[in-house]
Amino acid sequence: MNLVEYPDSEMMMIDLANQIAGEINTSLLQHDWCSLAVPGGTTPGPIFDALCDADLDWSRVHVLLTDERWVPEDHERSNTRLLRQRLLVERAAEAVYVPLYRDAPTPEEALDEITGAILPELPISILLLGMGADMHTASLFPGADRLEEALAKDAPPVMAMRAPGAPEPRITLTAPVLTDA
C-alpha cells in the first residue's frame, strides 16, 4: 500500500482527477471506448470539477453511476443531477451517459431495461468509489434489505436496494460488477 499525504483536500481532488484522466487516456489508447463508473454524494463533486475539463476524447467515454436514488433526474437528491452539473460539462459534455434511473414507479419495474443498458458497459474500465459515514459504498448499505444477495458472487449486475434510514429506494451496481472493474 502506498500512502500519499496532501497539504489540503483541493490538492488531493486535483491529483485524483489527474489520475482518473490518465487511466481514461490509457484505456482509450487500448480500446475503442471505456466505461467510467462514479459515485454520487458529496465527496466526488470537486473531483468532477477538475476532471470535466481534461483533454480527452470524451465522446469515447461512457459514464455511469455506481448507484442512484430512485428519484427523477431533476430532483435535488439525484446523483444524475450532480453528474450533469459537475462532470458532464465542459469537455466532458461529449461523454456518453448511461443512466440508472428510469421513469418507472419502482426500480424493480425498470430492472430489465437498466440491466440491458449496463451489460454492454461491463467490465467497468475505471471505477471510482466513495464510502459513506455508515460504511456503505454504492448503495450497498449495512442492513439493506438485499445486501447479502447483492454481495454474492452470482448477484445480477444491478439490483434494487432499500436501506434503513434511506428515504427512497435505490438502484445499485452489485459486488461482482464492482470487484470485476
SS3 94: helix
Query: How does residue 165 score in pLDDT terms, banded at 50, 70 and 90?
Result: confident
pLDDT attached to residue 19:
98
Q: Is the pLDDT of residue 95 over 90?
A: yes
Residue with cell 472493474: 181
> Can you spell out the DSSP letters for 48-73?
HHHHTT--S-GGGEEEEESEEESS-T
Q: What is the pLDDT of residues 46-80, one digit of tens each?
A: 999 999 999 999 999 999 999 999 999 999 999 99
User: Domain-by-domain residue ranges, the chain?
Assistant: 9-133
SS3 169: coil
**138 φψ region: left (φ > 0), alpha (ψ -120 to 50), beta (else):** left
The pTM (predicted TM-score) of the whole model is 0.96
CATH tag, 9-133:
3.40.50.1360
